[in-house]
Amino acid sequence: MKFSTFFSLVSLLFVLSKATAQEFKLGKVSIAELEQRVHPKDTAAVAAILYKKGSSKIEFNQNDGFVLVTEVETRIKIYKKEGYNWANQSVVFYIGSPSSREKVDYSDAVTFNLVNGKVEKTKLKSDGIFDENVNKYRSRKKITMPNVKEGSVLEFKYTVRTSNIGMMHDWDFQTSIPVNYSEFKTYIPEYYVFNARQKGYVFPKVATQKNNRSIVLTNKERVSTVGLRAGTVKTEYSTDKLDYIETETTYSSEHFPAMKEESFVNNIDNYLSSISHELSMVKAPNRPIEMYSADWNSVVKTIYDYDTFGPELNKTGYFEDDIKTVLNGLNTPDEKIIALLNYVKSSVKWNGYFGYDCDSGVRKAYKEKTGNIADINLMLTAMLRYAGLTANPVLTSTRSNGIALFPNRTAFNYVIAAVETPTGYVLLDASDKYSVPNVLPLRVLNWQGRLIRKDGTSEDVDLMPKKVSNDIVFLSYAIDPEGKVSGKARRQCFDHNAMIIRNNIDGLKEEEYLEKLENENNKIEISDYVRTNQKEILLPTIETYSFTGNNLCEVIGGKIYVDPMLFFSNHENPFKQEIREYPVDFGFPFLDKYSITIQIPEGFTVETLPAPVVMNMEDNLGSFKFVIAQNQNVLQLNVVHQINEAIVTTEKYDMLKEYYKGMVAKETEKIVLKRI
């Protein structure tokens, strides 16, 4: 797929004129704001951000040198009970290295209500503020605003401080509710160069100005005296003044609409309007220039040089003896890949934590049989290399983390292994027990990753599957004169479809799974259920069962009306929007195929039979075929629905929408049976 169309919308938009400042101040909530019952531009909104103002300033103090201070103040209006969750706010902050730790403080948190025509204030108490560990490196400071009602206005402020200048937080101008006004300012001394990256479909105004700044350094020196009082020591003070230029940049937006969820969007945050800043260079006075993330190659080199990445990948002496046994008698690359992937999956369990840098370290993870994503997949990469394969790590971003649009170290939060073969890369993830070569967990299917070689070079790797995952159903059923249906079903799922089935079944007792299956399929009753290949993950999953159902047909005026695909038909077009703003992300190409045999009840004949249809989308995007034929009292139906691209661009949305509309109409078209 070509991503240029989307990325062309993600270019920077710089406006030289100064944005008109608006006056907002905490504590100055108006009666009009409290009286407002619906949002004037979005009456369905459950809440709205009335204003959100923030600044990230790199400022100097005598003790710590330059530090990064971010201040954010927000005012939120609650319209409906469904918006109460906006009373829960949080900030994720770094707690790893002492030199880079962030400190977060909330203040001025107040809930405003209109009571008997007067403004009532309820301040946040200390028991409404608490910390929550996210992982070894990050924590989350949370607040729960008090006395929230329909009509409330919430205000709060928080400050984030850190000595790590490169940890400037992203700023979102959009969210799932309307944003009336948003403003973000950066104050950056000339010694620091940041790459500012905007994404989304609507952009804020941008204004810049240069400010003259100076630093006064106080020097203290202990000196010995001479003369009459020789031998005594005194303290002398001196000052130095350093002038520099600060760039002040203001990003402002008004009346940005809520981000609306649409079907088959991998992560809505990928498309909201936001700004991020990545430190690319430090030009300190009288010191060599320090380069950081100017491009993807420098990002990769920086990550590779981390103690928790490159050195961990290259560690040896902890697995070799065990691996010799695993590889004994194996000759082909495919055999070695499967054996090592299965060995790591069975030897080291994922602890649930993401990350491209190791947590426990590969040796400790191997010994203790548990680790994070990097521990597991860097270990796998090292073992593949030991086996003589050309293996390298691939940095990726999970769907929840967003698409890695721009060169920066936080764009990635995951790492997998890749083996280079004459036919292309084989991608591997040993953290998921149902993953097989080139069938990655859905969380990793997120456009592109970045492969890192031993020599420091890197390249993009397409993570999106090209192979079609099949879902094949054989269905045979009979209808009795009262409309009761009884039959048998056999379903085979391959590749990603098989992984989904296995994960859905995992940990569920069979009776729980069957109860869910019955409820989802018009309250059918299932018997003789058999499941095969649940653990033979290189093979397709197979489910067979018998079923009966009293709700699968309609009997009206002596006629029987039946959806020929029963509970396998698609009843609703998932694409309802007139205009699609985001790419359609199916996750992987797929083929759904149904072979259905229908036994007509004794004493009935066919009055109406759906006409056959074949639909083909342009550019081989997909096709649908529906063919039904009658042979005496037996109907034979064959249905094939195939989508050949994991991601469909917005330019093809209208075609896809019409395709699904026609498919749903045909699949729900009824067979009508009448008495002879």
- Nearest of 564, 573, 524 to residue 545 by alpha carbon: 524
The answer to whether the CB of 136 falls within 8 A of the CB of 161 is no
Alpha helix stretches (DSSP H) within 522-564:
none
Q: Quote the CA–CA distance of 537 and 531 in Å, as a whole number.
A: 13
Q: Quote the CA–CA distance of 657 and 622 in Å, as a whole number.
A: 12
Mean of the pLDDT values across residues 554-577?
Answer: 94
Task: Write out the two tokens for 182.
Answer: 């948003």
Q: What is the pLDDT of residues 328-367, one digit of tens each?
A: 999 999 999 999 999 999 999 999 999 999 988 999 999 9
Q: What is the pLDDT of residues 401-446, one digit of tens each?
A: 888 877 777 789 999 999 999 999 999 999 999 999 999 999 999 9
Whether residue 17 has pLDDT greater than 80: no
Query: Same fold for the domain at 4-21+31-292 and the one at 298-462?
Result: no
Q: What is the number of helices (H) and of strands (E) in the chain?
A: 11, 36
- Nearest of 106, 96, 171, 105 to residue 139 by alpha carbon: 96
Alpha helix stretches (DSSP H) within 453-509:
495-505
Q: Quote the CA–CA distance of 104 and 568 in Å, as a whole number.
A: 52
The answer to whether the CB of 371 falls within 8 A of the CB of 357 is no
Other Cβ atoms closer than 10 A to 32: 7
Check if CATH label 3.40.50.2300 holds for domain 469-675: no
Whether residue 135 has pLDDT greater than 80: no
Q: For residue 302, count CB atoms less than 10 angstroms from its CB and return exposed for 0-12, middle for 13-18, buried for 19 or more.
A: middle
Q: Quote the CA–CA distance of 109 and 89 in Å, as a whole number.
A: 11
Q: Quote the CA–CA distance of 397 and 433 in Å, as a whole number.
A: 20
Which residue's entry shows tokens 């033979």?
536
Q: What is the pLDDT of residues 37-68, one digit of tens each?
A: 999 999 999 999 999 999 999 999 888 889 99
Calculate the CA 123 to chain-centre distance: 35
The answer to whether the CB of 14 falls within 8 A of the CB of 412 is no
Backbone angles phi, psi at 410, to 5 degrees: -85, 0
Backbone angles phi, psi at 117, to 5 degrees: 80, 0
Q: Quote the CA–CA distance of 182 and 163 in Å, as a whole number.
A: 26
Listed by start position, the domains of the chain span 4-21+31-292, 298-462, 469-675
Would you tell me which CATH number, out of the four given (3.30.420.40, 2.60.40.3140, 2.115.10.20, 2.40.50.140), belongs to the domain 4-21+31-292? 2.60.40.3140
Q: What is the dihedral of CA 311, 316, 318, 324, to 10 degrees?
A: 140
In which band, very low, low, confident or very high, does the pLDDT at 129 lie, cut at 50, 70 and 90? very high
Whether residue 277 has pLDDT greater than 50: yes
In words, the CATH class of domain 298-462 is: alpha beta
The answer to whether the CB of 259 falls within 8 A of the CB of 271 is yes
The answer to whether the CB of 445 falls within 8 A of the CB of 499 is no
Q: What is the pLDDT of residues 160-187, one digit of tens each?
A: 999 999 889 999 999 999 999 999 999 9
Q: Quote the CA–CA distance of 394 and 386 in Å, as a whole number.
A: 18
Which residue's entry shows tokens 């080139």?
438
Instruction: State the Rg of the chain over Cα.
Output: 31
Query: Measured in Å, how far apart are the chain's first and last C-alpha atoms?
Result: 55
